[in-house]
Amino acid sequence: MCGIVGYTGARSAVDPLIEGLRRLEYRGYDSAGIALGTPTSLFIEKRAGKLANLESALSPNIPTVHSGISHTRWATHGGPTDRNAHPHVDNEGKLAVIHNGIIENYSELKAELESRGHSFSSDTDTESVAHLLSDLRKEHGGDLTQAMRAAVKLLRGSFTLLAVHADDPERIVGVRRNSPLVAGIGDGENFLASDVAAFIDYTKRAIELGQDEIITITPSSIEIIDLAGKAVAPREYEITWDAAAAQKGGFTHFMLKEIFEQPKAVADTLIGRLSDNDQILIDELHMTDAEIAALKKIVVIACGTAYHAGMVAKYAIEKWAKISVEVEIASEYRYRDPIVDSSTLVVAISQSGETMDTLMAVRHAKAAGARVLAICNTNSSTIPRESDAVIYTHAGPEIAVASTKALLTQIVAVYLLGLKLAQVRKELSDLEVKSIYHQMLELPAQIEQILETVEPLRELTRKFATSDTVLFLGRNVGYPVALEGALKLKELAYIHAEGFAGGELKHGPIALIDSVKQTPVIAILPAGHENALDEKMLSNIQEVKARGARVIVIAQEGDAVVGAEHIIRIPSGPALLQPILATVPLQVFAYEMAVARGNDVDQPRNLAKSVTVE
């Protein structure tokens, strides 16, 4: 959450600062602000609401300056008002701070600072940092870098901070703790941001920052130190996608664009993963065959949509590799004394690699002696850096808050992991692994087929736009698909939606069926007819239909369906691969419901793309 941008260089700072925020709007926010460094003072403007409100407030006579910081805020401490928007300044109005995260000890800092005569004008935790830095800078002879280093030692919480002072406006100082911050290296200009998307128009060269590292940028230099004051060598990397990848490309919304990018994303994540001698290639795992064979348990930790990918992983890994898999909600994991040791592989799934609950769970698992594998879409983000190994998905930038292509590539990644484990543990033969892998290679074309025939589904969805409840039913791997369908609908359409295992229907959920309102029920018909699960789901369909529900069924081509008002067909394939195909129509359903109800599809209310606080 929160977009942070810093710029110092030769060009007018307003353009990269505002355009950078625009690139970061997908993260979710409720106010925006900017601080421009002039030789004598700071020019500050900030407004509640969308970025357009800030742009409208900026005077046409705005000073031409060459450095500054900008911010989009998602309210935590204090409501989304003009005065609570960032930047926050000291009482002299010469030092400005922007902040992502939470300062846990802000109240005691505020009390101490007020006792020294500081006056506060907002309800935020961030303002305490501005006043603290102001005092510390004076104690360190006007050195803002050393002031930041001293301040970080006093702060508790998770945060990214950027600061600028009017006495040295070309110098911007930043620090990160459990929250994202990257630097961009330009020609006679440098950048800081919470995401490389903010400066990708200007440079493809980036620097990753470690925990509690303090970075100082000027137009001609980048210096990094640790908390001890020791210089840190910059860790530079190349950004592999371009600015066009973050544009809508002719689609009405980023989400729709990203739905249609899924065939390529799945193909890119699969490519090159089978050797000439039919071995699954996951060199990133950094485990010997003996270490893999010695594993006693897999624990998947994730949040939200990534948690549903983890649930799919359980079905696949247990069936193929015959090893126990637990799937944990990351925010709950470390609060119940979980049992893990060196024979446990913890798989942390996160699109951004910055999800705070997942990061804290990773640290807890590592402290207990477990090996941690990250599955992530964002190069050099925090979770991969702190894990023992990482499988990067290749979804490309995902701008819409509601995740689509990231989910499908996460499922592909856990499938590849499951096949690798099964092959090493000799639970599947090389021939069986090769067969499954080649079936997975058909998925991009099958997703393309679904998308080519999606228009009737979009039209159908509009008929349900006034519904106030939608229920989703699934069995086996269809159960996490049902949960994901319900989550997407809640996120985008703002209506009550629940996913249930089909067998649980009679244990309570069937009471939600309203014959007067003709409650819509979406059922995922199990594939493969294993254990007659398809027949059991057809019975569930009859049960809800008898009570007045309007039933939509997602079924493979050729499967017999009785009792459905509408049938959405997906290509036939193995049961364990069905989640990738069955999820796509549910994404389209949620998208079209949001559009029909007039909602902001790419930036749903109250949500942020990357949840970087616990």
The token duo for 590 is 């949620």
Q: Report the C-alpha gap between 362 and 353 in whole angstroms.
A: 11
Which pLDDT belongs to residue 1?
A: 56
Which pLDDT belongs to residue 62?
A: 81
Taking each helix axis from N to C terminus, what angle separates 106-115 and 126-139, rounded to the nearest 10 degrees? 50
Task: Report the residue count for the chain.
Answer: 614
Specify whether the CB–CB gap between 200 and 243 falls below 8 A: yes
* Per-residue model confidence as pLDDT tens digits over 404-460: 999 999 999 999 999 999 999 999 999 999 999 999 999 999 999 999 888 899 889
User: Which of the residues in the chain have pLDDT under 50?
Assistant: none
* Per-residue model confidence as pLDDT tens digits over 332-380: 999 988 999 999 999 999 999 989 999 999 999 999 999 999 999 988 7
State the number of CA atoms in the 13 A half-sphere of 3 facing the CB: 30
- The model's pTM is 0.76
Sheet of 344-350, strands arranged across: 324-329, 297-302, 344-350, 371-376, 389-392
- Exposed/middle/buried for residue 148 (C-beta within 10 Å: 0-12, 13-18, 19+): buried
What is the set of active-site residues?
Answer: 2, 609
Q: Which amino acid is located at 367 in the chain?
A: A
Taking each helix axis from N to C terminus, what angle separates 304-321 and 478-493, rounded to the nearest 10 degrees? 170
The token duo for 211 is 């925990």
Domains along the chain? 3-245 (3.60.20.10), 248-441 (3.40.50.10490), 453-614 (3.40.50.10490)
Which pLDDT belongs to residue 528?
A: 72
